[in-house]
Structure 1
Amino acid sequence: MADILDRPAPAATTPAPTTATRQAWYTICPTFVASNVAQEFGWIEEELRKVGASLSYLRGLPVEQGYLPHFSHRFEHLFRDGGNIPSIWAKADNVDTTLIGLTEARHGGTIVVRADDPAPRVAALKGRRFGLSKSDNPAKVDWWRATSEQGVLNALRLAGLTREDVAIVDIAQEDRGFGAAARPSELWARRRADLVFTPEARALQAGEVDAIFASHGRALGLVRTGSFKIVEDFSRYPDWTLQVSNSPYALTVNTDFARANRDIVVAFLRASVRAARWLAANPEAGASILHRVTYHPSVADTRAAIRDTDFLPTLSERKLAGIDRQKAFLVERGYVRRDFDSRDWADGSYLDEALATS
Structure 2
Amino acid sequence: MDQLWFTRCPVPTATGIAADRGWLAEEFAPDGITVRSLQDVPAAVAADHHYTHALDGLFREGGNVPALWARSRGERTRLVGLTWIEERQSILVRADSPVREPAQLRGLRLAVPVHAIGIDFWRAMALHGFAGALSQAGLTLADAELTEVAGSPHGQWQGELAALRDGRVDAVYVKGALAVEAAARYGAVVAVDLDALADRRARVNNGTPRPITVHQRLLDRRPDLVARFLAVLIEAADWARDQPAELARILSAETGAGVHGVAGAYRPDTGHSLQLDLSDERLDLLARQERFLHAQGFLPDPVEVRAWADPAPLEQARALLASRHRTGV
Do the two structures share a fold, i.e. TM-score over 0.5? yes
Q: 2:225 aligns with which of 261, 264, 271?
A: 264
TM-aligned CA deviation for residue 154 of structure 1: 1.7
Q: Does 1:254 align with 2:215?
A: yes
Q: Does 1:142 align with 2:102?
A: no
Determine helix, strand or coil for the equivalent of 1:225: helix
What does 1:217-256 correspond to in 2, within 5 Å?
Answer: 217-225=177-185, 227-246=187-206, 247-256=208-217
Q: Does 1:310 align with 2:288?
A: no
Q: Does 1:168 align with 2:146?
A: yes
CA shift in 2, pair 1:135/1:197, >3 Å: closer
CA shift in 2, pair 1:173/1:229, >3 Å: closer
Is the Cα contact below 8 Å between 2:244 and 2:271 reproduced in 1?
A: no
Overall identity of the aligned pairs, in %: 31
| Comparing 291-300 and 336-345, the one that deviates more | 291-300
Is the Cα contact below 8 Å between 2:147 and 2:169 reproduced in 1?
A: yes
TM-aligned CA deviation for residue 300 of structure 1: 3.5
- Residues 71-96 of structure 1: per-residue CA shift (max 9 Å, x gap): 11112311110111111111111410
Letter in 2 for 1:209: V
CA distance in 2, matches of 1:338, 1:196: 28
Is the Cα contact below 8 Å between 2:76 and 2:216 reproduced in 1?
A: yes
- Corresponding residue for residue 328 of structure 1: 291
TM-aligned CA deviation for residue 38 of structure 1: 0.2
CA distance in 2, matches of 1:208, 1:44: 47
Determine helix, strand or coil for the equivalent of 1:208: coil
Is the Cα contact below 8 Å between 1:235 and 1:243 reproduced in 2?
A: yes
CA distance in 2, matches of 1:122, 1:276: 34
| Comparing 146-155 and 286-295, the one that deviates more | 286-295
Q: Does 1:287 align with 2:248?
A: yes
CA distance in 2, matches of 1:348, 1:49: 26
Is the Cα contact below 8 Å between 2:87 and 2:265 reproduced in 1?
A: no
Determine helix, strand or coil for the equivalent of 2:18: helix
CA shift in 2, pair 1:302/1:220, >3 Å: closer
| Comparing 151-160 and 97-106, the one that deviates more | 151-160
TM-aligned CA deviation for residue 284 of structure 1: 2.8
Name structure 1 gaps, 5 residues minimum: 1-20, 176-193
Is the Cα contact below 8 Å between 1:284 and 1:303 reproduced in 2?
A: no
Q: 2:29 aligns with which of 45, 49, 64?
A: 49
Name structure 2 gaps, 5 residues minimum: 322-329
Tell me the C-alpha RMSD between the 2 structures.
Answer: 2.2
Q: 2:94 aligns with which of 99, 114, 117?
A: 114
CA shift in 2, pair 1:197/1:84, >3 Å: closer
- Equivalenced residues, count: 318
TM-aligned CA deviation for residue 104 of structure 1: 0.8
TM-aligned CA deviation for residue 305 of structure 1: 5.5
Letter in 2 for 1:341: E
- Corresponding residue for residue 342 of structure 1: 305
CA distance in 2, matches of 1:307, 1:153: 25
CA distance in 1, matches of 2:120, 2:163: 19
Q: Does 1:207 align with 2:167?
A: yes
CA distance in 1, matches of 2:114, 2:266: 32
TM-aligned CA deviation for residue 111 of structure 1: 0.5
Determine helix, strand or coil for the equivalent of 1:272: helix
Q: Tell me the TM-score normalized by structure 2.
A: 0.89
- Residues 219-253 of structure 1: per-residue CA shift (max 9 Å, x gap): 42234337110100111122121221112111111
- Residues 3-50 of structure 1: per-residue CA shift (max 9 Å, x gap): xxxxxxxxxxxxxxxxxx521111101122211100111111111223
- Corresponding residue for residue 325 of structure 2: none
TM-aligned CA deviation for residue 350 of structure 1: 1.3
| Comparing 333-342 and 104-113, the one that deviates more | 104-113
Q: Does 1:68 align with 2:68?
A: no
Letter in 1 for 2:46: G
CA distance in 2, matches of 1:201, 1:305: 27
Q: Tell me the TM-score normalized by structure 1.
A: 0.82
Determine helix, strand or coil for the equivalent of 2:7: strand
CA distance in 1, matches of 2:82, 2:292: 19
- Residues 263-316 of structure 1: per-residue CA shift (max 9 Å, x gap): 221221111011011011222322222221025542534663654742111111
Determine helix, strand or coil for the equivalent of 1:164: helix
